[in-house]
């Protein structure tokens, strides 16, 4: 039996790496992938607590999170295609239309 703490600490590490990737990466697609990494880290914590408390609520929430992530990926990648078409770049530093 693996202690629940281990799962939650792993989840925190993965979430931290996702936050770092979000700040550090410059390609808009990779930034979008780091958001998916953060969602996955939260899902792991959900399932770990669901198992620790002996209830399935957490797993149901994970399924809803996955559905929302799928919808988000569809819309987000549509926006990325639009940006790439209008600005001819995927670097977020070049997308500076609102910058003074």
Q: Considering the rule CB under 8 A, would residue 69 count as an interface residue with other proteins?
A: yes
CA-to-CA distance for 23 and 1, rounded, in angstroms?
36
Closest approach, Cβ 86 to other proteins, in A, equals 10
Per-residue x/- mask for other proteins, residues 28 to 67, rule CB under 8 A?
-xx-xxx-xx--x--xx--xxxxxxxx-xx-xx-xxx-xx
The string over 60-85, giving b where at least 16 C-beta atoms fall within 10 Å of a residue's C-beta and e elsewhere, is ebbeeeeeebeeeeeebeeebeebee
CA-to-CA distance for 17 and 95, rounded, in angstroms?
24
Q: Site size for other proteins, by CB under 8 A? A: 70
Q: What is the DSSP letter of 32?
A: H
Closest approach, Cβ 95 to other proteins, in A, equals 13
Query: Could you tell me the two tokens for 57?
Result: 């609520």
Q: Which residues bind other proteins (CB under 8 A)?
A: 1-10, 12-21, 23-27, 29-30, 32-34, 36-37, 40, 43-44, 47-54, 56-57, 59-60, 62-64, 66-75, 77-82, 84, 90-91, 93
């Amino acid at each position: 039996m693996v202690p629940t703490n281990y799962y939650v600490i792993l989840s925190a590490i993965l979430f931290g790496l996702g936050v770092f990737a979000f700040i550090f990466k410059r390609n808009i697609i990779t930034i979008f992938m780091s958001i998916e990494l953060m969602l996955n880290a939260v899902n792991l914590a959900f399932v770990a607590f669901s198992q620790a408390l002996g209830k399935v609520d957490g797993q149901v929430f994970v399924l809803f999170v996955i559905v929302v992530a799928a919808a988000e990926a569809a819309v987000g990648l549509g926006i990325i295609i639009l940006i790439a078409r209008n600005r001819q770049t995927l670097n977020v530093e070049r997308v500076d239309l609102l910058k003074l």
